[in-house]
Amino acid sequence: MIINQTKLFKISLILLLLFLLLVQGLKSREIIKKKELLQLKILEQQKQNHDLKNKYTTKISTSNSKNKNQLIDIKEKTAVILAELEKYNLVLIDFSSTETELNLNLKGDFHSILNFMFYLENNIESLKIVEFKIKENQNELFFFARLKNELI
């Protein structure tokens, strides 16, 4: 009877180990499937990132070539800006321009200068304010602005 109990105990331990191995094997298979699924998702994301990068660089290069082909005529922009001075009650003292830059010397009150700067920043897209100075002389304010063609 003792022999049968030890054999029965050994057989039950073997069955228990087999059961544990089977459970562990199923869990391993599940983990391997999850790993493969995650690797597949990673590859899809990398492909999507690569496609988006190509699309972005194509868009940027197209935009840059379009901008180079459409270099603005600074004379036209200068004429538009000078026409707007009267609306803002500003007096033109002096201006100079090159192919890439426009310098303005103006006089007027603070609110007029502030509104004019707001106009330049929001309505004149191709010219960027790179420098400005305001100087007070008695009751008048003198305003200097340097605008640069940002496409160049």
pLDDT in tens, 70-119: 455 677 788 888 888 888 888 888 888 887 788 999 998 888 888 988 88
- Quick check: pTM over 0.75? no
The DSSP annotation for 51-82 comes to HHHHHHHHHHHHHHHHHHHT---HHHHHHHHH
Is the domain 74-149 a CATH 3.30.1360.100 member? yes
Structural domain spans, the chain: 1-70, 74-149
Q: What is the pLDDT of residues 28-55, one digit of tens each?
A: 999 999 999 999 999 999 999 999 999 8
